[in-house]
């Protein structure tokens, strides 16, 4: 399916079902894709942070891409994360994405080697030149330790092959500014702006952002789709009610652990409790077990209730 | 060549000669290895930060490992950097290192996904279990955004397969503490402790650290070997004279650029000026050109003079 | 005027008019207070970050407090910033605030000495014990380098004398979480939660936060008061229109400089252009002059349009 | 006593004896000054970080300055910390220092308001203009969240009234660079460079730094004085032996607690165990009690043994 311009709605940053740490569980991947499409999501983004992309080996990433393409079958646009420390391997993944019928690739920039803004801009432009597919940027400073500055986004948004940005900084003001500087300014009226944290999706969409790339839509896709529609329509009563449910879910499922891995361990464990996949993570993270798993199970029961 | 226990002296964090961004220049790699061995270095560490390891694709890393093994021919111990966001690809590289006759592998821990200390410890132990070769730790918080805590080092130093640590934090006090806590305490009397920044090597070795993994030894290996010997012997007059030359070189060659990439761009450009390799870097960094290259050339002329 | 529980609406973090760096311009202080009250604001907060509180000497702070109390004359609640590295001087300021008829004091915690959460909690409790007035917390991690954790707020919110928190982290999710954990949970149903950045006020208030402590209300108080009312009422059309104006103002006035001081230099220069005070700042900041001042002047002309 | 140019040797960053949190214990202050002078230190620095300067109220700081001046009686140069968020109060303290017969004042720059390098340089120049005494800079990025860049030091070192810098960054390479850029370059041949962390003093002095401002010299002044002399003379055997004792002391006394306050709580508790002062700290820190105090007491007994 070709990429809507701009892309609007809920894009699921898909969990990667694993049968062993680092090994993709391909049947479960197909099932999970069917689950979120049935819930009404407007796109699927594989191999992002929620999908543990950078933690998977090159071969596992290729298998994941091929299977996701086959399973999605063009029902919704497929975006493929190609964030990698090595430029050449990122390009290999972009070609695999094209072969699988994906609509776009997504890059958070390089990791490991720290980059200044001009180096980050050069990376993105070069990647756009080498990629057979359109490119989304992914602002993820907690993991890449660099933020796409507003000036950098304005500059790369002039490259037609670069089509949008997902922001996971948690700073909604950054998106308010990008809306002004990139979209409304006329620099690139069709540039897509999406927000990562689901806890901020309603307000961002209400004020002009195009949609959300929200992890919780792996679990309960309809909740996020409904909230997106309420926000886009400016239905305040519905927004308040559904936003409350999203915050409740977030507080129950993403803060059980004691480290920065709480989100990822929590959402995968929750998906396992829902029967969507096995509770297996790639290194460096370990799945919740014992008391932590029980807490997630109890919360899932409460949320389903 | 088997790994001396502990490893002492100067280990060159080898630059990776490239014929195009991301493509290893294998003949130049052989020449560079001969150059540093002729200068008396006690070991070679490929695919570290100075070697742009994480910026190279998996296939290029494999070629680099194989060629380095063939070129070193057991004259000095060969250490291979396997720092990677994906555990499984790190293990692939460890096996390639063994096949090439390397003495050990080196890991800075995972990149991209942030880890807490217990997760970092688990990563190292698991890697030690999966690696066919002994493992060195590489404390590199400026790039990995995590520091191996003293408690973490004490814990992993109890794993026989984990044999040492290179510290590039620039905090010599950290090494003074590790010497106490790991080596002199008897936890692991033969654990190797090496220092990264060459500007701090003399003082660290004088006070008990086993050696330096110093980038400048790519260029002028004998200078660093001589300073190591002076420091180990406690020859203060020589230490002061040679340390001054090391600081002079560092200030001339590593601070020409304006970003964090100054060190890497500077040292590679300097090596090119010395005829050791071509002035080509892998993304995300770009080689010095124009005025910056001219400044490096002038400094190299002054240092040679 | 006693403190409404909870405090709702727009509280102006008042600029401190100066006649020389560090010297309060008392008549202009009175005029500015009249200006914002005429614009309908619901409270005044002096000696915060926007008021350059910590940059003023102890004697200047006392004069500012006395004059603000005399000028406000109980028309709106007066809050007084007492953030200080020295606990004892913070308490001196709290007593000065009481004498001036203030309704509450505000602390961002200590500066200079870094504190862990238990130390921050102890500071707040001890301050509540020593202060003759109710205490607001002020989460300002960009300046204090510590964030009040959710657990810390839950703990101190059990102290009756601690009545609310202003968050200037820019992370709206933090406030969504505090609303849940402190207010809706029943821990402290009347705890006031206010948001600092005006660019996020509409969405925060729409979703339950009590109001905004917004610098721009020094300049155009009615704009912020109107936006607050639209957000509280859930009037989406008005919210979108007024939020757009707030973002426009923010982008014009707060990003002219090149350092972190852009906000403070910009807003003070803008107030000077509006004739509200002289363009004088306390050290360490210097007022905009030349091209920067001209840009602010042009933007003020456009905004007044 | 006038300031030696450059100042060489051990300067004790004096603990401030308190009789209650925030209240100076003046008799104990006199005793402590006699103690360190008897141990041979070359100078005394009051109201620094170790002296809890910024945590004391303005009035307490004034009393401390007056009493220290009276107690030192010109036997060694007295330096007075005037680090303060408010420029005007820093100047008040500088005048108090002059009245007390101090030789110089010391500033870490402003706290609370974040500054860019040009703002930091302007602060220092302005302070030099307003201070009746010579000014030392104090590089303390862990507390001020700004580092004096090399370029900034080169610039302010051209101001005759600014006479030296104490570095507490823990990055010895920074001092190696400043020695080159400021002293050996001829920019300011008599500029004093001192190192804060005692664990790094020997190596810094061996390689050209003028001395150490080392907290441990409150406890055992002769140990640090002896190590300074060994390092200045290049006596390697003595350096190794005394450095080992310094590291041992540091590990025993400064890492008992669990927060960043471990150093300050530990050294004050140790001084109390030695009978030099009462175990009282100013907010935001609390003294060690119970098991923590017992551990310090046991370590003091072992060190004395």
**Which H helix or E strand runs over C2?**
none
CA dist., res. B21 & res. B42, Å (int): 29
Neighbours of chain D (3+ CB pairs under 8 A): B, C
- pLDDT of the residue at D2: 79
Residue A258 in contact with partner chain C when CB distance is under 8 A: no
Phi-psi region of B180 (alpha: psi -120 to 50; beta: other; left: phi over 0): alpha
The verdict on B51 touching D (C-beta cutoff 8 Å) is no
C-alpha C245/C-alpha A25 separation (Å) is 50
Below-70 pLDDT ranges, chain A: none
Residues ≥6 apart with Cβ < 8 Å to B184: none
Mutation for testing the D interface, residue in C47, C64, C86, C259 having most D CBs under 10 Å? C86
Domains of chain D: 9-235 (3.20.20.70)
Q: How far apart are CA B40 and CA B225, in angstroms?
A: 6
Q: C47, C54, C88, C258: which to substitute to probe chain D, counting the most D Cβ within 10 Å?
A: C88
Q: What is the pLDDT of residue A93?
A: 98
Cβ–Cβ of C171/A170 closer than 8 Å?
Answer: yes
Nearest residue, CB atoms, D282 vs list C87, C142, C259:
C87
With pLDDT > 70 as the criterion, what percentage of chain C qualifies?
100
Which among D174, B22, B33 has a CA at the least distance from the CA of A90? B22
Interface contact C177-A240, CB threshold 8 A? no
Query: B-contacting residues of D 162-191, CB under 8 Å?
Result: 170-173, 176-177, 180-181
Per residue in B54-101, pLDDT (tens digit) is 999 999 999 999 999 999 999 999 999 999 999 999 999 999 999 999
Measured CA distances, D90 to D50, D97, D167 (Å): 18, 11, 20
Q: How far apart are CA C233 and CA C211, in angstroms?
A: 12
- Say if C93 is an interface residue toward chain D (CB within 8 Å): no
Distance set, CA C55 to CA B273, C214, D89 (Å): 51, 20, 9
> What is the rounded distance in angstroms from the CA atom of residue D69 to the CA atom of residue A66?
78
Q: Which of D236, D251, D262 to mutate to test the interface with B (most CBs of B within 10 A)?
A: D236
| Chain Cα centroid distance, residue B65 | 15
Question: What is the DSSP secondary-structure string of D122-173?
Answer: HHHHHHHHH-SS-EEEEE-HHHHS----HHHHHHHTTSTTEEEEEE-SS-HH
B20–A contact, CB cutoff 8 A: no
Residue C12 backbone dihedrals phi, psi, to 5 degrees:
-85, 120
Chain B: give the shortest CA distance to residue D207, in Å. 6
**Angle between the N-to-C axes of helices C87-99 and C117-130, in degrees from 0 to 180, rounded to the nearest 10:** 40
DSSP-assigned letters across all residues of chain B: -PPPSS--EEEEE----EEETTEE-HHHHHHHHHHHHHTT-SEEEESSTTTTGGGS-HHHHHHHHHHHHHHHTTSS-EEEE---SSHHHHHHHHHHHHHTT-SEEEE----SS---HHHHHHHHHHHHHH-SS-EEEEE-HHHHS----HHHHHHHTTSTTEEEEEE-SS-HHHHHHHIIIIIITSS-TT-EEEE--GGGHHHHHHTT--EE--GGGGT-HHHHHHHHHHHHHT-HHHHHHHHHHHHHHHHHHSSSSSSTTHHHHHHHHHHHHTTSS-S---TT-----HHHHHHHHHHHHHHH-
Average pLDDT, chain B: 97
> For residue B51, what is the nearest residue in chain A, using CA coordinates?
A113
Instruction: Determine contact, residues D29/D47, Cβ cutoff 8 Å.
Output: no
Q: Which residues pair with B105 in a beta bridge?
A: B80, B135
Residues of B in contact with D236 (CB under 8 A): 206, 234, 236
Residue B278 confidence (pLDDT): 98
Cβ distance A110 to B21 less than 8 Å, yes or no, reads no
Residue B251, φ and ψ in degrees, nearest 5 = -70, -30
Task: Please list, in sequence order, all residues whose beta carbon lies within 8 angstroms of the beta carbon of residue A258, skipping any fewer than 6 positions away.
Answer: B116
Asked if the C-beta of B35 comes within 8 angstroms of chain D's C-beta atoms, the answer is no
Q: What is the pLDDT of residues C40-73, one digit of tens each?
A: 999 999 999 999 999 999 999 999 999 999 999 9
- Point out which residues pair with C194 in neighbouring strands: C166, C211
Average pLDDT for B109-127: 97
Task: Using the predicted structure, report yes or no on whether residue D259 has a pLDDT greater than 90.
Answer: no
Q: Mutate which of D214, D247, D252 to test chain B, going by most B C-beta atoms within 10 A?
A: D247
Q: B85, A85: Cβ pair inside 8 Å?
A: yes
Q: Which residues in chain A are contacts of B115 at CB distance < 8 A?
A: 259-261, 284
> Residues C246-264, buried b or exposed e (16+ Cβ, 10 A)?
bbebbbbbbebbeebbbbb
- 3-state per-residue secondary structure call for C125-148: HHHHHHCCCCEEEEECHHHHCCCC
pLDDT of residue B2: 80
Asked if A237 reaches chain B (Cβ–Cβ under 8 Å), the answer is no
Residue from A246, A301, A249 nearest A273 by CA = A301
Q: How many CB pairs under 8 A join C and D?
A: 151
Residue D16 DSSP label: -
Residue D296 to residue C195: CA distance in whole angstroms: 44
Evaluate if residue B304 carries a pLDDT over 80.
Answer: yes
Quick one: pLDDT band at residue B305, thresholds 50, 70, 90? confident
pLDDT digits (tens, 9 = 90+) for C64-118: 999 999 999 999 999 999 999 999 999 999 999 999 999 999 999 999 999 999 9
CB neighbourhood size of A114 (10 A) = 18
Residue D89 touches chain C, beta carbons under 8 Å: yes
Whether the pLDDT of residue C258 is over 90: the answer is no
User: Which residues of chain D are within 8 Å of residue B176 when distances are taken between CB atoms?
Assistant: 199, 247
Closest approach of A110 to chain B, Cα-based (Å): 7
Count CB neighbours of C149 within 10 A: 14
The answer to whether the beta carbons of residues D213 and D194 sit under 8 Å apart is: yes
Per-residue pLDDT of D152-208, as tens digits, reads 999 999 999 999 999 999 999 999 999 999 999 999 999 999 999 999 999 999 999
Of B100, B101, B104, the C-alpha closest to B131 is B104
Using the Cβ of A122 and the Cβ atoms of chain B, whether some distance falls under 8 Å is answered with: yes
- On whether the CB atoms of residues A76 and A37 are closer than 8 A, the answer is yes
Q: Is A21 helix (H, G, I), strand (E, B) or coil?
A: coil
Chain C: nearest CA to A290, how far in angstroms? 24
In whole numbers, what is the pLDDT of chain D averaged over residues? 97
Q: Which residues of chain B make contact with D262, given a CB cutoff of 8 A?
A: none
Q: What is the pLDDT of residue D305?
A: 78
Cα radius of gyration (chain B):
18
Q: How many CA atoms lie within 13 A of A66 on its CB side?
A: 11
Give yes or no for B64 touching A (CB within 8 A). no
Taking only the tens place, the pLDDT of each residue in C203-229 is: 999 999 999 999 999 999 999 999 999
Helix (H, G, I), strand (E, B) or coil at A137: strand
Residues 217-236 of A with CB under 8 A from C: 234, 236
CB A164 within 8 A of CB A136: yes
Q: What is the structure's pLDDT at C2?
A: 80
- Angle, nearest 10°, between helix axes B221-233 and B236-253? 150
pLDDT digit string, tens, across residues B144-201:
999 999 999 999 999 999 999 999 999 999 999 999 999 999 999 999 999 999 999 9
pLDDT above 90 coverage of chain D, percent: 97
Instruction: State the alpha helices, DSSP H only, in C100-192.
Output: 117-130, 141-144, 150-156, 172-178
The DSSP string of A194-227 is EE--GGGHHHHHHTT--EEE-GGGGT-HHHHHHH
Name the residue among D49, D59, D85 with its Cβ closest to that of C54. D85
Coil, helix or strand for D17?
Answer: coil
DSSP state of A104: E
CA B63 to chain centre: 19
Q: How far apart are CA B141 and CA B61, in angstroms?
A: 23
Q: From its phi and psi, is residue C79 left (phi > 0), alpha (psi between -120 and 50) or beta? A: beta
Minimal-distance CA residue of chain C relative to A234: C236
pLDDT confidence tier of residue B258, bands split at 50, 70 and 90:
confident
Check if D258 contacts B (Cβ < 8 Å).
no
Q: What is the pLDDT of residue D258?
A: 85
Residue B117 at interface with chain D, using a CB cutoff of 8 Å: no
Q: What Å distances lie between residue A60 and A19, A24, A144, CA to CA?
A: 12, 6, 22
Chain C contact present for A197, CB below 8 A: yes
Q: Do chains B and C touch (3 or more CB pairs under 8 A)?
A: no
Whether ipTM > 0.85 holds is yes
Chains that touch B (3 or more CB pairs under 8 A): A, D
Interface chains of chain A (3 or more CB pairs under 8 Å): B, C
pTM score above 0.90: yes
Q: Is A57 on the interface with B (CB under 8 A)?
A: yes
Reported residue count of chain A is: 305
């Amino acid at each position: 399916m070709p990429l809507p311009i701009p892309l609007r709605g809920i894009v699921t940053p898909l969990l990667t079902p694993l049968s062993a740490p680092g090994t993709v569980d391909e049947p479960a991947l197909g099932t999970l894709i069917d689950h979120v499409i049935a819930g009404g999501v407007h796109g699927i983004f594989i191999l992002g942070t929620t999908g543990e992309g950078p933690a998977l080996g090159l071969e596992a990433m290729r298998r994941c891409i091929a299977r996701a393409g086959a399973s999605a079958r063009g029902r919704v646009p497929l975006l493929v994360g190609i964030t990698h420390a090595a430029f050449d391997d990122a390009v290999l993944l972009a070609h695999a994405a094209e072969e699988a019928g994906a609509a776009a690739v997504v890059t958070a920039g390089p990791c490991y080697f720290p980059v200044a803004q001009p180096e980050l801009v050069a990376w993105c432009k070069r990647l756009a030149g080498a990629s057979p597919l359109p490119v989304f940027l992914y602002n993820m400073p907690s993991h890449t330790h660099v933020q796409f500055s507003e000036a950098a986004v304005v500059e790369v948004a002039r490259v037609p092959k670069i089509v949008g940005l997902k922001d996971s900084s948690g700073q909604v003001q950054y998106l308010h500014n990008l809306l002004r500087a990139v979209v409304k300014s006329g620099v690139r009226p069709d540039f897509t702006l999406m927000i990562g944290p689901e806890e901020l999706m309603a307000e961002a969409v209400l004020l002009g952002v195009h949609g959300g790339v929200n992890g919780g839509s792996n679990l309960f896709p309809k909740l996020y789709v409904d909230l997106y529609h309420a926000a886009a329509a400016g239905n305040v009563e519905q927004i308040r009610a559904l936003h409350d449910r999203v915050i409740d879910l977030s507080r129950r499922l993403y803060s059980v652990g004691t480290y920065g891995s709480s989100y990822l361990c929590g959402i995968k464990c929750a998906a396992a409790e829902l029967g969507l996949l096995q509770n297996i993570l790639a290194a460096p993270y370990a799945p919740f077990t014992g008391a932590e798993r029980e807490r997630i199970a109890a919360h899932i029961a409460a949320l389903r209730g």
